[in-house]
Amino acid sequence: MNPHLLFDQWFAEEKALNNLKLPAACCLSTIGLDGYPNARFVSLKEVTDGSFIITGPWGSRKGREIENSTTAALSFWWTATERQVRIQGDVSKISESQAELYFSQRNRDSQIVSTVFEQGKEVESIAHLQEYFEEQKRTLGSEEIKHPEHWGGINIKPIRIEFMEFKKSRLHERKLYTQAGEKWEMTILQP
């Protein structure tokens, strides 16, 4: 089976069984500017044309890391189906129009946060953060919040996708799909 179809199938099966608040949560790993791997949870927006899309601000650590090294990994752990998916791939930026579309789908508070804050920058206190947020909200009123240039997204185009399914026997099934030209090659790995 094509690994993208398998991914869609596994994701749908998990969502059907698991009433997760954030079913699209996954771990994005990047290569830190200091060489240390860096990982954090993000939300998978969608998979289009075989690429996995994640959004966020460019000035953040992950944004800077991706600008420096255009490779990343995404990992999913689905508890109801007891399955793991690991993806490694090449990263490119989504288009301005795509970023605008994803931004327009965010709720207003998230749009304001993404517009007025610089993700990852130090703040004096939580109280200052709250105060600034409320002040910005008052200033913006009901004004439409335009997509800020510093906010965008990435496509992760996989070169490798590994599917692992837990088995009671402990003989967990691991299938590794590797991109070989236009095709995918599948190998079965020992648990």
Site residues (CB under 6 A) for ligand FMN?
22, 25, 38, 40-43, 54-56, 60-62, 119-120
- Under DSSP, is residue 120 helix (H, G, I), strand (E, B) or coil? coil
Closest to ligand FMN by CB, 61 or 93: 61
Nearest to ligand FMN of 105, 139 (CB atom): 105
Start-to-end CA span in the chain (Å): 20
Least Å from the CB of residue 41 to ligand FMN: 4
- Which residue, 38 or 88, is less far from ligand FMN as judged by CB? 38
Q: Nearest to residue 190, comparing CAs of 176, 180, 177?
A: 176
Query: Using CB atoms within 10 A of its CB, is residue 128 exposed (0-12), middle (13-18) or buried (19+)?
Result: exposed
CB of 167 to ligand FMN, least distance (A): 27
CA distance 87 to 121: 29
Q: How far is the CB of 165 from ligand FMN (least distance, A)?
A: 23
Give SS3 for 84.
strand
The nearest distance, CB 123 to ligand FMN, in angstroms, is 14
